[in-house]
A and B are shown apart, each in its own frame.
Chain A
Amino acid sequence: MSKILVVTDARQANFGDLRASHSSLVVSGSRSIIWLVVGASPEALKKLRRRFSFGRVQVVDKFELIVEDKSTDVDLVIFLSSGDGLQRESLVPVTEIFSQNLEIDLLYGDSGHPTHEKAEPLIFARRPGWSPERLRAHCYVGETLAVRTDLVVRGGGIDDLAMRHPHDRALRLTENAKNIQRLAEVLTIAKSSDSRPSASLQAVVDHCQRQAIEADFELDSSVPSVRVKRRMTKQPTVAVIIATRGTSAEVFGEQRVLVVEAVRSLFEKSTYQNFNVVIVADTPTPKSVIETLQQLGGSRLQVINYDRPFNFAEKNNIGAMSCESDLILLLNDDTEIITTDALETMVAIFNDTQVGVVGPMLLFEDLTIQSAGHIFSPDPTDLYRARNPETAGPQNLLRVQREVSSLIGACMLIRRDVFEQVGGLCLGFPGNWNDIDFCLKVQLAGFRAIFTPQAQLYHFESKTRIAKRVDAEVGKLGARWGSVLDDDPYFNPRLQRYTNIWKTDSTSKQSLDEALSF
């Protein structure tokens, strides 16, 4: 690969910051770096040019100088914030990836952040794979981006992009990118100890204007993140499918019939009312329960009798095929609406035609998290199960709308055409993992699965319930989706496995570079 252009906005930088960045470039694994320091003082530039760099780093302050030099051929541009440093030898895998795969035009990676603690000098921001929905909320890709030169030109040019907020820059570049990849290696050692992604409200507003996304915006400065509330351009019909056998249980200290309360919350709490309910009831369901449901729902509720052996997938398929609607909401009978606009929030996400399925945050009775989307680590797990929903999670993961590999079937809103296109829930998974198989089929068909924390429901599942793992089902799921289970694109291979939290697997996977880096 030819020369690499590293671009740093030095308008706010002091010489110490620039010196730190310069030192990292010398050992970054490339012998031919042009470092474009935008807005640096002449004195700082003079000092930088004098620094010992084995001739590996050529410091310039104007991009025109590079263009005028005919011998210079820049293929790759790296945006590096002042004070941040590239990880030692990190450009080796970067250049390899770009030269081996000509389709990739943007790459981002993990970053290390100082903790000022001797025992653990760095914490690492481990980033998930490409997630456009999440990028609208905050700059989760980090501030260091490796980009092909032609993409930089399409994104507005070096001078323009260099001066922009990292979130704005990332949005502009990704809008024009064709293939975005995440490198699960540390690319940057940041100056800041804050590993949380930054967010710019104005950048998101501009991005949505460019992308013709009609939405209202809200900046949550405590996190920080931007909430993009898509406007409802139409009121699609929703068919709510509830499979039940009329079970009663104690909730909030009182005995209640779960399905009745689930339906009651839909009719009484939800601000979105363009729905009908289809109850798929097992034969043993008490008659009194059916009667109460019919009183609650009236003409908007239909009951289907299910007299076959239990198969959750089949019950939902029958319910979905017994009605007509634009969207299908698969809902467990032990759920209840918390946020009154939960349905509206989820329905509005379907304004994006690439979205196939949407899921909310589900909470236990004690208001701890039941599910915030699945991760495959490699067994499918509810992320942050039994944790406090007020926790923002690493990199504010739990506060933002984002793509996930899979959602829990207890509450999934699905586009009907997508449901039919992928064949609904697989009957071969009668109890477990039909939701996971379904979400992965949706993604195979080219649609995205979105988790939104802005819609919240109760799911009165037992906290201690552990899904029975049947070897045959593991084999069947793995035969279809083994590669995704082993490497969840919205997880990170450097994170701990067999846990439901996002935690760096620090000791076992620490490389020499990470152990010795500055």
Chain B
Amino acid sequence: MVSPIFDPVVVQQKIDALTKRDSEFAQRAEAIERDRQIQKYGAPRPYEFAPNTSQVHVTNWVHRGWLRPLRFVYRNTPRSLRKIIKRLWI
């Protein structure tokens, strides 16, 4: 069963030990993160959440303007011909 220990001195000693362990883990994690940043950016930099790029650029390259006439031609070619084009493409 749980047996509470209420001696504040003992509790404080345990808290201090926890804080020490926490800082050791923090140092380990920070070292790993620093290495990653150096590898990625060349130097450590302050962390910020990455900007939200989800669904910002909703056009992928097949929808670019210069492809519109080509897409039009492709879609209006006979199905059999489209199949051949696709097969050749891949």
Contact = CB atoms under 8 A, between A and B. Distances in A.
Please report whether the interface of chain A is mostly helix, strand, loop or mixed according to DSSP. Answer: mixed
Interface string A297-333: 0001010100000000010011001111100000000
A27 B90 contact: yes
A426 B22 contact: yes
For chain A, which range describes its interface: under 10, 10 to 19, 20 to 34, or 35 or more residues? 35 or more
B53 A322 contact: no
Contacts of B4: 276, 278, 302, 322-324
B56 interface: yes
B5 A323 contact: yes
A239 B29 contact: no
Nearest to A275: B2
A353 interface: no
A444 interface: yes
A499 B54 CA distance: 10
Given A323-B4, A325-B2, A483 B36 contact: yes
A318 B18 CA distance: 10
B47 A444 contact: no
A420 B21 contact: yes
A482 B62 contact: no
Given A237-B1, A507-B60, A497 B25 contact: no
Contacts of B1: 237, 274, 276
A478 B14 CA distance: 28
A478 B25 CA distance: 14
Contact of B29 (A276, A322, A440, A505): A440
A284 interface: no
Contact of A478 (B22, B28, B47, B60): B47
B32 interface: yes
A496 B25 contact: no
B15 A237 contact: no
Contacts of A318: 11, 15
Contacts of A498: 52, 54
Contacts of B47: 474-475, 477-479, 482, 485
A423 B26 CA distance: 10
Interface stretch (A30-38, A67-75, A190-198, A508-516): A508-516
Given A322-B5, A505-B54, A508-B56, A445 B25 contact: yes
Nearest to A326: B2
B58 interface: yes
A481 B5 contact: no
A474 B15 contact: no
A423 B19 contact: yes
A208 interface: no
Contacts of B36: 482-483
A321 B18 contact: yes
B16 to A, nearest CB: 10
Nearest to B22: A423
B61 interface: yes
A479 B48 CA distance: 9
B23 to A, nearest CB: 7
B6 A324 contact: no
A510 B60 contact: yes
A366 interface: no
3 closest A-B pairs by CB: A478-B47, A423-B22, A423-B21
6 contacts: A275-B2, A317-B15, A379-B49, A423-B24, A444-B28, A497-B53
Interface of B: 1-6, 11, 14-15, 17-26, 28-30, 32-33, 36-37, 46-50, 52-58, 60-62, 86, 90
